[in-house]
Amino acid sequence: MSDYSDASAEQNHPPVIDLGEYRQSRDPLPVTFHRKELDAILWIYGRMVGEGEWRDYAIDHLREKAVFSVFKRSGEMPLYRIEKNPKLAAKQGAYSVVNTSGMILKRGHDLRQVLKVFDKVLKLVDKD
């Protein structure tokens, strides 16, 4: 009789779930820049700060993408956003540079090639 009650008791309990796996499936880790990617971005950032073009930056690690935003002044909209979106890696490329108005200036699979858009002199022009 005790064998039957033990077996039925086991059937009534929910299965044991690994909490780490559950959290990962419910709330996936954000997309981040790797060290080599940040090195390439910060090299461009340092050069542009030295030229007086940029003054501040922000890094956002979101579920869908990682964003490195650069600013002329910290209270403004970003001049440019360097984005990493892994979902686009197989299509147009995971990396893109986007200007203030949302236009994609360059997109590709290789971050260093995408960052070459800053080798050209890019200046914001007001429509007055």
99: in domain: yes
126: in domain: no
90 CB-side CA count, 13 A: 1
23: in domain: no
90: in domain: yes
25: in domain: no
80: in domain: yes
Q: Could you identify the residue written with the tokens 């869908």?
A: 64
Q: Tens-digit pLDDT profile for the chain (128 aa)?
A: 555 555 555 567 777 777 777 666 666 788 999 999 999 999 999 999 999 989 999 999 998 999 999 998 867 789 999 999 999 888 989 999 999 999 999 999 999 999 999 986 555 666 65
Under DSSP, the state recorded for 30 is P
Which helix (H) or strand (E) segment is 25 a member of?
A: helix 19-26
3-state secondary structure of 94: coil
Phi, psi (5° rounding) for residue 51?
Answer: -85, -5
Domain of residue 95, residue span: 35-118
19: in domain: no
Whole-number Å distance between alpha carbons of 31 and 94:
11
Domains identified in the chain, total number: 1
